[in-house]
A and B are shown apart, each in its own frame.
Chain A
Amino acid sequence: MFTGSMKGRLFRGRRRGGEAVIRPVATLAERWDDAFLRVESYLHAHGIRSPMIVNRIATQTVDEARQAAVADPAAEPVALAMAKLQQAMAHWYRTVLGEQDLPEEVLRAKGRLALVMNRSEPGWTQQFLAPDSVHPELAMALREARLQPGPEVQLTNMPPAPLEFMINPDERSTAPGLRGHGLVQAAALWVFILGALGAAWAASH
């Protein structure tokens, strides 16, 4: 099932035997539309809701990708546009996080993690990929963001408790048994109950 937006924008519908057959579009203009939409969707997936910000970044990204396409006309617009967007993001994360040595893909993952840990920071979307410098408080918060799934591990040995499955007749129980006075009292009472019932039985049968 495809949504209306995909039918209208990404695919061209044709009919074969009464059923809609949907296949990807082919023209270059539509491929660039596709690239623009992909960039928009990716920004949207980041939680950037402002149409103006999304539009600004998407337009800028696709423009840069189009320029790059001049040198590499065989390249796919979506791949080019997303590569430009990811480069921009890596650059922004590198500046904000101050991480110079990390590979680009690791840096982007780390940057996204820092963002998710600071999504409540006000106005971060306005500063995201912004050309001017990021607010120091946001930068500090992003730099300090850490995911801590657990404290430092302190390994302890936990050996299985041994179990043996025969009761040792010589074993002294750890529980108090029925010994001494208590046993006599209990036994007397039980004998009385059973004796009374036994007598009733004997008298009747």
Chain B
Amino acid sequence: MKVAHFDPAQLDPQIRRDRRVRVATLLLALTAPAVMVMADLHWRTGYDLWKVLHLAIFTLLFTLVALGSVQAIIGLVIRRRGEPFAITHSVDFATDLERLDAPTAVVMPICNEEVRRVIEGLRAAYESVAASGQLAACDFYLLSDSNNPNRWIEEEAAWVALTQELAAHGRIFYRKRRVGINKKAGNIADFCRRWGSRYKYMVVLDADSIMSGGAISKLVRLMERNPGVGLIQGVPMLVNGETILARLQQFASRLYGPCASAGLNYWTLSEANYWGHNAIIRLDPFIRHCSLPELPGDGPFGGRILSHDYVEAALMRRAGWQVWLATDLDGNYEECPGNLIDLAKRDRRWLQGNLQHTRLIVARGLNPVNRVHFILGILSYLASPLWLVLLVLSGIIAWHVDRMDPARYANVGFAQHLHWSLQGQSITLFAYTMALLFLPKVLALFDLKRRPADAQAFGGWSAIIQGMLLETGIFTLLAPVLMLFHSKFIALTLCRQNVSWGSQRRGREGAAAAWEEAIGEHWGHTLAGVVSAVIAYRIDPRLAAWMSPVLLGMIASIPLSFITGSLDAGLALKRHGIFLTPDETQPTPELISVTQHMEGVEPARPVPDELEGDYGLLQAVLDPYVNAVHGALLRSKDELPSASELRFETLRSKLVQYGPQSLTPKEKVALLQDGESVRLLHDQVWSAPTEELAPWWRVAISHYSRVAPLPQTPFSRQVAA
């Protein structure tokens, strides 16, 4: 495929306009007939308030379904013909091999994430950049907001170990904020304020991102070539999934994603969005124009902006800088939640952030396309309660219709010409909706048909079809559960219940969604499913049959959640070649590196149960090296007021005599943030006579003992007694 060289600065606004008109026209052409048939359906049985509301919601939801199909149709065409207006076509990567000298920071904001995985992602990026020969211009930053002492201390030690292993002192940096103001956006802003002026570009990674040196170099080259571009968002592939749910998501995104993202790029062009990571940002305009303001008021819609990425893209665009989507950037990956509950937890964070964007839709000076991004983001979550309301309204309308005389609607409206029964018309509408829902999947297969090597990398056509059917079946059952989750989250948000930003569990951790957790989270869904099934059956058994996929998903939510989050089941499917992706069958060196290092870690000596909760504190105090590193990383401060010194002295004494259980989490963090306390505690605990130490410390010190415990024999038991 030969593609013309493209200069984004010369992009004709008429092209953007024409493309958007085409998308809108296609959307109208697909949506309007369905809305009309639905309107006719209601007309036949007589309009009332329920039906007007039903038709309005149907129109909105059908438009969203149709938009997915429109993007997939356009994406397929674009991938066949070639996209002349792709940002990646502004540089000929095959010939542009010059050494890059634009100072670039690769930043990875983290917050209580699994440290090993974070470190391996960073290692892979660093080694890959080094292998690409572009290391001289790149620095790497771990920007931590972790408030869990265990994670915090582990991060510090892992960072030092990594810099030693890679001989990357002065190249990989670690910054821990004392107070995590404004979450991730605040973390990035903190970096920008401290070191932003040293760099021209910032590549933002997520805690689970993996990015190759090739991808980073390409992004930098694209920015260098296009000085009017402020941000380029890569489209990361989902990888490293092990549970059914994770593997299913990565299979679906890998298979259907290329057409969808090509379709998205078709109409967004230089007004694309930012997804918060796996993107490159021009720092100067970002610092000048993209610092997030607080929204007026408080509660869920006011205060600090939770979902920063869309807003930053809008601010960048408002300042006149282009924002592009790089749809064909290889070597760009991320991971996804491993079970349904983690997926819901993540969605809850995103949902509140997106709902907060409601106010920004009318913010002055923003580009209309950014307003559309806000609206689509809001609707992606608002669609759930709307589907729920639509289902309930459908039940009410069916109940009304069931009590009507069939002769009244036998031969009116379109039925006069098309000889539609009421049921036949409903089935036609349903089939059309399903066709549009599944069209992107079918189109993805057409797209793949032209790429036999890619099809082989998915495990061959048989595996693809099996995977697709299974994915469709599982998602059909999971969709109503997510619908209930989202509806509940929106209700909580509207009731001004704020979201706490915990870290999500992924991969192996995610697979451990226990039955107990599944029952605790899903019993309400099961109950709702059973009650709905009974009501639907009482109205009309045919209605219950129609709704059976939705009802079944709700009723079976507990086992579904457990099984789809199961590591064993996911790996079994992998062994059978189901849900394989090219990133599994032909992994890149970066993916291999992460996998090998994650698997190659020597099993650590098990930590006694009673020490585990405060293991970070234990290491910071007892371990000579962790203590030294932690103390060195704490900001040196001027002399403390005597009241503070006295407070710390009291806390230290309590900690030594009575153990960590005697302190509140805040007190523990306060001690760990005080350099002098950290140093003094090390000497104090190691030098204290055994009887002056809390039992917890005695066990902790024995953890460092060189002498192995005696094997149990009758003699040793006798001695102990």
Contacts and interface: CB of A to CB of B under 8 A. Distances in A.
Interface residues of B, number: 102
B721 A200 contact: no
Contacts of B196: 156, 158
23 contacts: A1-B609, A4-B712, A37-B707, A40-B707, A45-B623, A47-B625, A54-B706, A109-B631, A112-B627, A113-B628, A115-B628, A116-B160, A116-B628, A117-B160, A146-B169, A154-B194, A158-B189, A158-B287, A160-B293, A161-B291, A161-B293, A165-B296, A165-B363
Interface of B: 13-14, 16-18, 21, 24-25, 28-29, 32-33, 36, 39-40, 43, 139, 141, 160, 164, 169-170, 173-175, 189, 192-198, 271, 287, 289-296, 315, 317-318, 320, 359-360, 362-365, 367-369, 412-414, 416-417, 608-610, 622-625, 627-629, 631-633, 679-680, 682-683, 686-691, 695, 698-699, 701-702, 704-712, 716, 719-721
Given A1-B608, A155-B194, 10 more contacts: A1-B610, A6-B705, A44-B704, A44-B706, A79-B687, A116-B160, A120-B164, A158-B287, A175-B367, A185-B21
A30 B306 CA distance: 59
A166 B362 CA distance: 6
Contact of B169 (A37, A148, A160): A148
A105 B716 CA distance: 41
A147 interface: yes
Contact of B193 (A43, A117, A158, A205): A158
Given A40-B706, A116-B160, A13 B721 contact: yes
A151 interface: yes
Nearest to B190: A158
B395 to A, nearest CB: 26
A46 B628 CA distance: 11
Contacts of A159: 291
Contact of B709 (A3, A25, A147, A200): A3
A132 interface: no
Contacts, number: 258
A70 interface: no
Query: SS class of chain B's interface: helix, strand, loop or mixed?
Result: helix
Nearest to A80: B687
A147 B367 contact: no
A83 B687 contact: yes
A158 B291 contact: yes
Q: Which of B608, B702, B706, B721 gathers the greatest number of chain A CB atoms within 10 Å? A: B706
A29 interface: no
Given A41-B706, A78-B687, A154-B194, A161 B289 contact: yes
A205 B44 CA distance: 9
A151 B709 contact: no
A189 interface: yes
Contacts of B16: 175-176
Nearest to A75: B689
Contact of A165 (B362, B608, B679, B699): B362
B690 to A, nearest CB: 5
Contacts of B32: 193-194, 197
Contacts of A171: 364-365
A182 B17 contact: yes
